[in-house]
Amino acid sequence: MSKTLLIIKPDATERNLIGHIINRLERSRFTVADIRMVTLTEEQARKFYAVHEGKPFLNDLVAFMTSGPVVPMLLEKDNAVEDLRTLIGATDPTKAACGTIRFEIAKDIEKNSVHASDSDENAATEIAFFFGPDAI
Ligand code: CMP
């Protein structure tokens, strides 16, 4: 079993899609090992997305990610990071493969409904951010 982090973003919590997304995850054989609901402060959102410092979309992204509740969850599965990236699809929903979560429900490249860790190393950092170092 390996671990990864998924966040349900404000555009999806606002549309009552939490249950739908968890259903998609569980049917794809991910186990939800921990879950929270939290409204991020600006400082927390900037820290989480520190890797995007200097990118033109960062300020809008931080405003969006603090605009409502998000649902981070710790997921377990064999090959968790890669399989979750496949399941959610490309960042830009117009480029996401048919059948992926973003193809199905994302609104645009920013309001793209879910975030998933992109490497085992980043998964460890992101899991610790929301669930503490003991969760890794
Ligand atoms: P996420 O997978 O959470 O990683 C960074 C986020 O920035 C991304 O999803 C989008 O919500 C947002 N974003 C907005 N514009 C862009 C862009 N041009 N390229 C990448 N990410 C973007």
User: 20 an active-site residue?
Assistant: no
Q: Quick one: average pLDDT of 48-67? A: 97
Say how far apart CA 19 and CA 118 lie, in whole Å.
23
Q: Which is the catalytic residue, given 46, 96, 115, 126?
A: 115
Share of the chain above pLDDT 70, in %: 100
The answer, as to whether pTM is greater than 0.85, is: yes
Can you tell me whether residue 10 is helix, strand or coil?
A: helix
Give the integer Cα–Cα distance in Å for 23 and 39.
Answer: 22
**94-129 per-position pLDDT tens digit:** 999 999 999 999 999 999 999 999 999 999 999 999
CA distance 62 to 54: 13
pLDDT of residue 53: 96
Q: CA 50 to CA 35: how far, in whole Å?
A: 22
Domain boundaries, the chain: 2-131
Which residues line ligand 1 at a C-beta cut-off of 6 Å?
Answer: 52, 57, 61, 91, 109-110, 112, 115
**Domain 2-131 belongs to what topology?**
Alpha-Beta Plaits (3.30.70)
